[in-house]
Amino acid sequence: MLFTRAHLPTSIRTVVREASTQKVLAWTPVQRSTLPEEFLVATSDALIFAKLHDPDSETPTPARSWPWAHIDRAAWDPTTSLLTVTFTTAAEALTAPMPTKIPVRFLTTIRERIEHSVVMSETVPLKDGRKARVALRRPVNGELFIEVLHDTPHPTPGEKDRTKIDDVVARFHDLSGAPLKTC
């Protein structure tokens, strides 16, 4: 055979189907050991983390899934082969070691999916040097929403900072009619 293409293991496909009915766009094994037992799978609607079924367990481990609109960013470090996914919620970042062969298709797909979920965004500088980002996001269902993300956890912004953020939120709302999402 001139061209061969690896296939996602059947047990992983089954677990992924339970998390998302959407088409698998790309996938990559997570390399925590010599044999891949964990996989990251990109579908049209979500990023999914799935594990191979443990034969000693009666039930398969359910997949963890994050809609693209809940992913703030993903960063690939080619020197360590680590992918770090940061979420818009309070969830801890996902750090996954990737294969030494760069998973270009997978990385390209997650970048495209995250960018597709952001309609527009604006960074608001705050008085203490921190930043807040206001983003107008598009989930798979198409119902736009506005969210405010702070670069570092911090107590409630002061009145001047709150006004700056509120002005951007109001502008985004006027442009789109989208509501502000509160967590």
pLDDT classification of 168: cutoffs 50, 70, 90: very high
Residue 25 φ/ψ, nearest 5 degrees: -95, -40
**Whole-Å CA distances, 6 to 3, 45, 75, 129, 171:** 10, 23, 24, 47, 47
Percentage above 90 pLDDT, the chain: 57
Which of 33, 41, 32 minimizes the C-alpha distance to 14? Answer: 41
Which of 128, 52, 44, 114 minimizes the C-alpha distance to 84? Answer: 114
Tell me how crowded residue 157 is: count the other CB atoms within 10 A of its CB.
20
pLDDT classification of 1: cutoffs 50, 70, 90: very low
The bridge status of strand 46-51 relative to strand 38-43 is antiparallel
Q: Which domains does the chain have, with CATH numbers?
A: 10-117 (2.30.29.30), 118-176 (no CATH)
* Cβ pair 178, 169 in contact under 8 A: no
* Residues 58-86 pLDDT 10s: 776 788 999 999 999 999 999 999 999 99
Q: Any idea which of 40-44, 148-152, 175-179 has the lowest mean pLDDT?
A: 148-152
pLDDT at 160: 92
